[in-house]
Homo-oligomer: A and B are copies of this chain.
Amino acid sequence: MFRLLHVLVTNDDGINAPGIHKLVEGLREVAEVTVVAPDREMSATSHAITVTRPLRVTEYRRFGEGVIAYAVDGTPSDCVKLAVDVFMKKRFDIVVSGINSGPNLGTDVLYSGTVSGAIEGVISGLPAIAISAAGFGDFNYEGAARFAAKLINLVKHHGLPEDTLLNVNVPEANGAKELPVKVTRLGKRRYTNVFDRRTDPRGREYFWLAGDPQDYHDRPDADTLAVSQGFISVTPLHLDLTSEALLRELNSWDFD
């Protein structure tokens, strides 16, 4: 029997953000969609989970008929945990997190709530995709939403190895109908001028995080480079931060 894929959608810009609405519009044509997403913007929450207070869940009806949706006063990770473990035990086929407003590239994925939503899916045993619009403001999300629909079917066809996910960044189409796709690795991104140092109206000093990104294109297949060249970047990630190279080296250290 033919059965539609059942996709769990989350994000970190919050359930009212345009990116998640465009994503759901794109996916519902090819899949059954359930949304569990933060009730407000949670950017740069990274993989935070909420342990010090309880979570509240509210039904949300603005995705239109056929889309079950809940808003949660927590992070993307909280949302996926709740969705999988409480609401719909084992009923999802894949988790899609996005479409984020702004890129999640290179070293920055370590801070990304969007990516953490997808990682949480993987931890729950599901394949997962994080998808971000590599642009800000009035970005046209339609190409990204179309690519998400295509990609979930590719993932269904090929499968993903255990404990892996795909991190996707889609640049602005600028008139092109379909952008070319490149398989990439995480590039190296650092920031300069990290803080604005300011003085408040009462003369007390405060610091506001700012920073200009600086990309190091030391690898030709870096995601940062691919997006700057107009490619849709697809980066395979896994959950294991173990450094195999350093592991071998450490065995020669004298710890006693």
Query: A residues engaging B (CB < 8 A)?
Result: 43-52, 54-57, 77-78, 81-82, 85-86, 107, 109-111, 116, 119, 123, 150, 154, 158, 160-161, 163-164, 166, 178, 181, 183, 185-186, 188, 190, 194-195, 197-198, 200, 204-209, 232, 234-243, 245-247, 249-251, 253-256
Contacts and interface: CB of A to CB of B under 8 A. Distances in A.
7 contacts: A44-B48, A44-B51, A51-B209, A54-B198, A85-B194, A237-B241, A238-B243
Nearest to A163: B188
Nearest to A50: B209
B51 A48 contact: no
Contacts of A204: 56
Contacts of A245: 161, 238
A208 B156 CA distance: 33
A33 B195 CA distance: 23
Contacts of A206: 54-56
B209 A55 contact: yes
B50 A48 contact: no
A246 B164 contact: yes
A207 B49 contact: no
* Best-surrounded residue of A54, A86, A198, A243 (most CB of chain B within 10 A): A243
Contacts of A77: 111
Nearest to A109: B241
A236 B240 contact: no
A185 to B, nearest CB: 4
A81 to B, nearest CB: 6
B54 A111 contact: no
Contacts of A256: 178, 181
Nearest to A256: B181
